């Protein structure tokens, strides 16, 4: 089945080394700019629903502002407690200056 992509943002909306939150297909997404590459994760910490997109992004790791769990924004993997489960990731396509995101999470993220 072909996965539908949806335009979510313009690349210029997301500064280098930062994350910004957008809503698309009824999902809050945190789009992360890691050295000019864009990655999309659910804006929902798997520990207790913290707003991941408001966390600090360092390289490819984002820290939940609520209790400090860190996730790899490329694979979704939880890197430290208190989170254990991976956060959903979404495929991103850069089309010109536009960021398009798959309307379906990549299978459950890496474990
Ligand atoms: S809600 Fe994210 S670490 Fe607790």
Structural domains of the chain sorted by starting position, each given as residue range(s) with its CATH number in brackets: 5-102 (2.102.10.10)
Residue of 46, 67, 78 with the most ligand 1 atoms within 8 Å of its CB, for mutation: 67
82: cis peptide before it, omega within 30°? yes
pLDDT of residue 108: 58
Is residue 110 scored above 50 in pLDDT? Answer: no
Distance (angstroms) between ligand 1 centre and the Cα of 83 equals 7
Ligand 1 contacts (CB < 6 A) are 45, 47-50, 64, 66-69, 82-83
pLDDT of residue 15: 97
14-26 pLDDT per residue, tens: 999 999 999 999 9
Beta-carbon contacts of 68 under 8 Å, excluding residues fewer than 6 positions away, are: 80, 82
Collapsed DSSP state (helix, strand, coil) of residue 109:
coil
For residue 60, what is the DSSP state?
T
Residue of 30, 42, 50, 81 with the most ligand 1 atoms within 8 Å of its CB, for mutation: 50
Is residue 111 scored above 90 in pLDDT? Answer: no
Distance (angstroms) between ligand 1 centre and the Cα of 108 equals 18
Is residue 107 scored above 90 in pLDDT? Answer: no
What is the value of pTM for the model shown?
Answer: 0.94
């Amino acid at each position: 089945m072909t996965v539908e992509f949806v335009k979510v943002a313009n690349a210029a909306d997301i500064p280098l080394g930062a994350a910004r939150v957008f809503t698309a297909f009824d999902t809050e997404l945190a789009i992360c700019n890691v050295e000019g590459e864009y990655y999309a994760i659910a804006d929902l910490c798997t520990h207790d629903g913290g707003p991941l997109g408001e966390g600090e992004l360092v390289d490819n790791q984002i820290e939940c502002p609520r209790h400090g769990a860190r996730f790899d924004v490329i694979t979704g993997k939880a890197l430290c407690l208190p989170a254990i489960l991976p956060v959903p990731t979404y495929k991103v396509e850069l089309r010109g200056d536009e960021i398009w995101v798959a309307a379906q999470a990549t299978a459950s993220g890496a474990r």
